[in-house]
Structure 1
């Protein structure tokens, strides 16, 4: 490793802040002379937010695909290189001074290390809104191998990320197929003869529990934002639908393996066989955000969920739907297991590659 160079990030990069744009100057449709406006919520929601557009202010504030964009406020340090457009003023772009000596994707992975993200959160300088400064980012020590090895390291990590992304896209396709089948059978072809009931007739809605006393393990622990960690024990071992109680109310999750659910996430026990996948599709298509009863934090109650009206078809139709969907969900679950395995491998390799503990052939 004698050829590796230790320096500060500010010695190899400079930073440019984004543009402040009033809400009335943001548009929801792309028209002539408009360009995409990239906000914090675009990055934190992984591209699920509706796109906004603004008048093109010129190249100074523009990021192109592959450019490193970092969040300054709220979730400081979170990074993306997958957006193109004008960045908002609570974001900033990391520009490399010499790209013949520094490889952008290597810097991207360096900054995505959990230790770096933890450092940003610990060193934030605001009591009201977590934030980081350019000084803080500039002072980060970094080890730089020769450019060829930087590219090789980034190539290994990118290959894992590409595989993870492929499986995520496969799962979206499989989920869309299951949803199309649900809509055809239970929405478009719904029969008036079906029993009028309530969601509580089909499921028992249970509160999650605190996870802090759990040891680390392989059991996924779910909050309203998704998987929080992996623990040594499960709260429930059977097929279930998880429904947010606090926070992101529309993040409904289907699970068919042992899991733990924290107190911001309800879990469900099925009162009938062959209905979990039906319940998942039904609840996922509800506008849960519109049922919010919270003031500061979006909130859901068991009373609201139990009283959601639902048309209940025959047990035979539930059984047929289960048979048709089961292979789709088995593949989704298999992909999810592989995704977690690949993410664990990537996250284990990343810090070792960054300090030369694991080397890559160039």
Structure 2
């Protein structure tokens, strides 16, 4: 640590610490978003899925209200996930502590990055306790040591890292919008038949469908877990279940690993989670992360869906995201509670209105650019993430000083 830096006990550098542990709010399906430990991940607060009633808000938040710019820290299961609050109209759940640095002493944004750093994480873990579930007590958190340059340099460090994070978040938002555009077109054409309202319609087992369309089952559209060859021990791209995204199609993290068995796939395939709770959470991915003609492999806990000849691979991905199809897939699950699986034959029996083949070709032409832009956004985020993860420990330790660093130059590399 540079000589002119100071080390503070966290409690001495805080203006505010808000802790709602020991209280459980009454949850509702709408209202004030509830920030729980489950949605604080990778430096951001993800979209809340739990709420408390507006009428309960003031009665619940008696220990203090968060402000924009405060840091939220998960205290157990897991310990050490952090994020910055960007909307103060939220409620705080258990296993979350909110921290606000003293102005002129500790920048809250800098604190976030310090806690994300290896030094910060190690100091948190060193103070955790417990057996089955480990966590950190408020009394121990208050004693945590934080290494700080001047307040001005803290702010500058946080600005550099938050600029990179903002670019990453912006790309994620763009990718989500592009996928929503593809899904909207899929729904208009193949679910609502909105583009064919002036056509003749005919009665079918699925209700009224455009004349000339046929009711078929999913097995007429895809090959399920198609055969591909990989030699045992061969190093291949591996995609495990946990990296399948929930709300965007593209995988961002893969590794090279020796093949010992598993589901095999190639670019253009769709990976569809077949077990609870992964399927219920929406884990699905479009395979666009392999090099030309490469074969990858992964968990047998996802199904590989490959478009048959003349069927749109993008349409296959879109149907995998269709709520009706997902609900049907969940209904085919069998097995013990908490470990149920989709069954292949019922899965393939899902009924679909099949249009003339040219509609698949036209759909490809409409959405291909969306899928390509999404992949470019993922690639850019991989580069940005690597840059941030390289810079974070160096800036937080003082190994790289601001006078030696130019962000614009680094972003152009």
TMscore range, shorter length: 0.7 to 0.9
Paired with 1:311 and 1:104, the residues of 2 have a C-alpha distance of 54
Alignment of 1:1-362 (within 5 A): 1-13=2-14, 15-18=17-20, 25-30=26-31, 35-43=32-40, 46-53=46-53, 54-57=56-59, 58=61, 60-82=63-85, 83-84=87-88, 85-96=90-101, 98-113=102-117, 116-117=120-121, 125-189=129-193, 190-191=209-210, 193-206=212-225, 221-226=239-244, 229-232=253-256, 236-246=265-275, 247-249=277-279, 250-258=282-290, 260-286=297-323, 288=326, 290-291=330-331, 292-293=333-334, 295-297=337-339, 299-361=341-403
Paired with 2:23 and 2:243, the residues of 1 have a C-alpha distance of 28
SS at match of 2:337: coil
Pair 119,300 (structure 1): closer, same or farther in 2 beyond 3 Å: farther
- Note the C-alpha offset of 1:327: 0.9
Q: Are the counterparts in 1 of residues 124 and 144 from structure 2 also a CA contact under 8 Å? A: no
Q: Which runs of 5+ in 1 are unaligned?
A: none
Q: Per-residue displacement from partner, 1:197-255 (whole Å, max 9, x unpaired)? A: 222332233399xxxx998x9x5734245358431369533211111133321122222
- Note the C-alpha offset of 1:91: 1.4
8-17 or 240-249: bigger deviation: 8-17
SS at match of 1:78: strand
- Note the C-alpha offset of 1:192: 5.1
SS at match of 1:166: helix
171-180 or 296-305: bigger deviation: 296-305
Pair 12,297 (structure 1): closer, same or farther in 2 beyond 3 Å: farther
Pair 102,221 (structure 1): closer, same or farther in 2 beyond 3 Å: same
TM-score by length of 1: 0.83
Pair 199,104 (structure 1): closer, same or farther in 2 beyond 3 Å: same
TM-score by length of 2: 0.74
Pair 341,80 (structure 1): closer, same or farther in 2 beyond 3 Å: same
Paired with 1:121 and 1:285, the residues of 2 have a C-alpha distance of 42
Q: Are the counterparts in 2 of residues 199 and 307 from structure 1 also a CA contact under 8 Å? A: yes
SS at match of 2:163: helix
SS at match of 2:47: coil
Pair 302,128 (structure 1): closer, same or farther in 2 beyond 3 Å: farther
Q: Per-residue displacement from partner, 1:101-120 (whole Å, max 9, x unpaired)? A: 11100000111235645775
Paired with 1:118 and 1:200, the residues of 2 have a C-alpha distance of 51
- Note the C-alpha offset of 1:187: 1.2
Q: Which one has the largest radius of gyration?
A: 2
SS at match of 2:398: coil
Paired with 1:342 and 1:266, the residues of 2 have a C-alpha distance of 31
Q: Are the counterparts in 1 of residues 28 and 50 from structure 2 also a CA contact under 8 Å? A: no
Paired with 1:303 and 1:118, the residues of 2 have a C-alpha distance of 49
Q: Are the counterparts in 2 of residues 19 and 89 from structure 1 also a CA contact under 8 Å? A: yes
Paired with 1:206 and 1:165, the residues of 2 have a C-alpha distance of 34
Q: Are the counterparts in 2 of residues 225 and 248 from structure 1 also a CA contact under 8 Å? A: no
Over aligned residue pairs, what C-alpha RMSD do you find?
3.2
Deviation >6 Å, runs of 4+: none
Q: Are the counterparts in 2 of residues 39 and 88 from structure 1 also a CA contact under 8 Å? A: yes
Pair 308,137 (structure 1): closer, same or farther in 2 beyond 3 Å: farther
Paired with 1:127 and 1:272, the residues of 2 have a C-alpha distance of 55
SS at match of 2:63: helix
- Note the C-alpha offset of 1:273: 4.2
